[in-house]
């Protein structure tokens, strides 16, 4: 055990940091893009406050198209775009763009579903009080949906961690890459086992945390 830690501790720690970096940075950007997209979907759909069939159809199809492409393919497909946006296609920096492109539509969809659950009646009550749509979105719709939103984001984070495993293909490192490079390519299964155990623990912690926060926010 001590030997193993001596030999692999630093590599695993580095992988953990890289995975955390990739996940958190892409999560932040994905929320920044996904939240407005989700709101747009809710508002522009039929009978929404800003009903617009063209806008809804465009956003809706775009999300479906992106979500149809497996991440590993998206990663290569987006190389020119990634270079244009991030200035590089390798390392942690190079993997953030494809991660965001994959995750933002997913988050938009999760948020849309969460927000559609909010009762039409409450929204109407606030309209009847003369409160503007932007305020209703934030203080009524997102507030009432916040518990489901947190649960959705929990799913999105766990999905992101899975996708970062493929970041190794562009040299971004991370736990998944470590397991693949050493555990599979160089026949050192103990490294792979260690990484798997760490990933299981991380996912468990995130899911439990998500559940606790969601329950707290629900308050009923």
Q: Does 131 bind another protein (CB under 8 A)?
A: yes
Residue pointed to by tokens 């766990």: 158
Q: For another protein, which is the closer residue by CB, 113 or 181? A: 113
Q: How far is the CB of 50 from another protein (least distance, A)?
A: 12
Among 139, 171, 189, 200, which residue interacts with another protein (rule: CB under 8 A)? 139
Q: Does 127 bind another protein (CB under 8 A)?
A: yes
Residue 211 contacts another protein per CB under 8 A: no
**Residue with smaller CB distance to another protein, 46 or 186:** 46
Cα(166)–Cα(79) distance, integer angstroms: 14
Q: Is 16 in the site for another protein (CB under 8 A)?
A: no
Q: Is residue 87 a contact point for another protein (CB under 8 A)?
A: no
Binding status of residue 122 toward another protein by CB under 8 A: yes
**Is residue 207 involved in binding another protein (CB under 8 A)?**
no
Asked if residue 154 lies in contact with residue 207, where contact means CB atoms within 8 angstroms, the answer is yes
Q: Give the interface segment with another protein, choosing from 30-38, 55-63, 151-159, 212-220 (CB under 8 A).
A: 212-220
Closest by alpha carbon to 39, among 27, 25, 24, 55?
Answer: 55
Residue 215 binds another protein (CB under 8 A): no
By CB under 8 A, is residue 218 in contact with another protein? yes
Which tokens is 133 given?
Answer: 């749509």
Contact 129, 86 (CB under 8 A): no
Distance in angstroms (rounded) separating the CA atoms of residues 5 and 154: 30
Q: Out of 68, 132, 185, 186, which residue is the one contacting another protein (CB under 8 A)?
A: 132
What DSSP assignment string belongs to 146-206?
HHHHHHHHHHHHHHHHHHHGGGGGGT---HHHHIIIIIIIT--HHHHHHHHHHHHHHHHHH
Distance (Å, whole) CA 4 – CA 9:
7
User: Considering CB under 8 A, how many residues would be counted as binding another protein?
Assistant: 23
Paired tokens of 109: 């969809």
**CB closer to another protein out of 53 and 139:** 139
CA dist., res. 194 & res. 206, Å (int) = 19
CB 34 within 8 A of CB 108: yes
Considering the rule CB under 8 A, would residue 47 count as an interface residue with another protein?
A: no
The correct pick among 66, 143, 203, 206 for binding another protein (CB under 8 A) is 143
Instruction: Give contact residues for another protein (rule: CB under 8 A).
Output: 119, 121-122, 124-132, 135, 139-140, 143-144, 146-147, 217-220
């Amino acid at each position: 055990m001590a030997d193993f830690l001596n030999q692999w501790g630093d590599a695993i720690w580095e992988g953990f940091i890289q995975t955390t970096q990739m996940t958190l940075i892409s999560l932040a950007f994905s929320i920044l893009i996904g939240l407005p997209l989700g709101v747009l979907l809710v508002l522009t759909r039929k009978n929404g406050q800003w009903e617009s069939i063209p806008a809804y159809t465009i956003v809706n199809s775009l999300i479906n198209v992106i979500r149809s492409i497996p991440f590993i393919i998206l990663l290569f497909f987006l190389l020119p775009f990634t270079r244009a946006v991030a200035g590089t296609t390798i390392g942690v920096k190079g993997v953030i763009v494809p991660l965001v492109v994959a995750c933002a539509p997913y988050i938009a969809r999760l948020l849309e579903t969460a927000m559609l659950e909010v009762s039409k009646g409450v929204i109407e009550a606030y309209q009847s009080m003369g409160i503007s749509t932007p305020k209703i979105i934030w203080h009524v719709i997102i507030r009432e949906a916040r518990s489901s939103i947190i649960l959705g984001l929990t799913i999105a984070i766990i999905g992101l961690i899975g996708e970062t495993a493929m970041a190794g293909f562009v040299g971004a490192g991370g736990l998944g890459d470590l397991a693949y490079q050493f555990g599979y390519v160089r026949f050192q299964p103990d490294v792979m086992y260690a990484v798997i155990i760490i990933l299981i623990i991380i996912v468990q912690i995130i899911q439990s945390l998500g559940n606790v926060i969601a329950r707290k926010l629900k308050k009923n």
